Amino acid sequence: MRLSSEERAQYDRDGFLVLTGFVETSSCDRLRARAEALVQDFDASGVVSIFSTHEQSRLTDDYFLTSGDKIRFFFEEDAFLPDGTLKHGKENSINKIGHALHDLDPVFSKFSRTPDLVQLVADLGIERPLLLQGMYIFKQAKIGAKVTCHQDSTFLYNVPIDIVGLWFALEDATLENGCLWAIPGGHKLGLKSRWLRSAEGGMKFEVFDSSPWPEEKLVPLEVPKGSLIILNGLLPHKSLANRSTKSRHAYTLHVIGGSSHCPESNWLRRTPELPLRGFD
Ligand code: FE2
């Protein structure tokens, strides 16, 4: 499977490209089943208290900030009752699993390292690719939180900026269940901000351009299960809350060029025991 020159031109123009039918339905189901099994094995008792206190708490930050080379579970904001217990079972409460699924879990590793992806990333011009982040997003029915308009390079910054986001629809993504929205051509607006570690501990934003996003230009990207949406790291995108009765599971994989540099001040860090790997 190769990108045509038209598809490549479209990606360069819009900053995104939708490839329907990129992944077999059976592969989507295998990944969903694996995510389900990981959640079943996850002991939520210790983490519920951390997340029920406050989402900005110091403990939550540490749990997140040290998850770059682990498999960790993050709850939906609206998953909790006022007393801090879960409204529903943990399988219907998790917002996402991150952020090294692609290296630490064999099923996710296999899904993330197919010949089709090797070819695709080469066709996108990423040289000596390294797999930076693998994340499973649930967008739960009823309580799936919105994601505000952002550029992935704000959070996964590298110099020079050389990153592509691969967004796999493991279920149909529709207007009702919170599909992605993107600003066609918005990747040409430049990087607006960067999220980095502050000297005092915790994180801060460094703002390069404080003008608001032209959100009236956002278009919905409704895609069927098995689709791949390729996202330029600079492309502004968002998703709305899911208040429907259907979840909207997706897997995202971020790939960087091997000669780019990820500063130490990025939130995502890898220990020397688990260096970044490519497709091999
Ligand atoms: Fe994103």
Q: What is the pLDDT along the chain (280 residues), one digit of tens a residue?
A: 799 999 999 999 999 999 999 999 999 999 999 999 999 999 887 665 344 334 444 444 788 889 999 999 999 888 888 888 889 999 999 999 999 999 999 999 999 999 999 999 999 999 999 999 999 999 999 999 999 999 999 999 999 999 999 999 999 999 999 999 999 999 999 999 999 998 888 888 999 999 999 999 999 999 999 999 999 999 999 999 999 999 999 999 999 999 999 999 999 999 999 999 999 9
Give me the pLDDT at residue 59, please.
Answer: 47
Q: pTM of the full predicted structure?
A: 0.95
Between the CA of 30 and the centroid of ligand 1 the distance, in Å, is 23
Between the CA of 83 and the centroid of ligand 1 the distance, in Å, is 31
Between the CA of 25 and the centroid of ligand 1 the distance, in Å, is 23
Between the CA of 271 and the centroid of ligand 1 the distance, in Å, is 24
Contact indicator for 218, 158 with CB cutoff of 8 Å: no
Q: Dihedral through CA 264, CA 269, CA 273, CA 277, nearest 10?
A: -100
Give me the pLDDT at residue 77, please.
Answer: 85
Between the CA of 235 and the centroid of ligand 1 the distance, in Å, is 9
Give me the pLDDT at residue 54, please.
Answer: 42
Between the CA of 280 and the centroid of ligand 1 the distance, in Å, is 25
Between the CA of 218 and the centroid of ligand 1 the distance, in Å, is 14
Residues 6+ apart with CB under 8 A from 214: 183, 186
Q: Cβ–Cβ contacts within 10 Å for residue 145, how many?
A: 19
Q: Cβ–Cβ contacts within 10 Å for residue 125, how many?
A: 12
Between the CA of 117 and the centroid of ligand 1 the distance, in Å, is 19
Residue that the structure tokens 């080379």 belong to: 69
CA-wise closest residue to 67 among 90, 43, 100: 100
Between the CA of 238 and the centroid of ligand 1 the distance, in Å, is 7
Q: Cβ–Cβ contacts within 10 Å for residue 159, how many?
A: 9
3-state secondary structure of 79: helix
Give me the pLDDT at residue 36, please.
Answer: 98
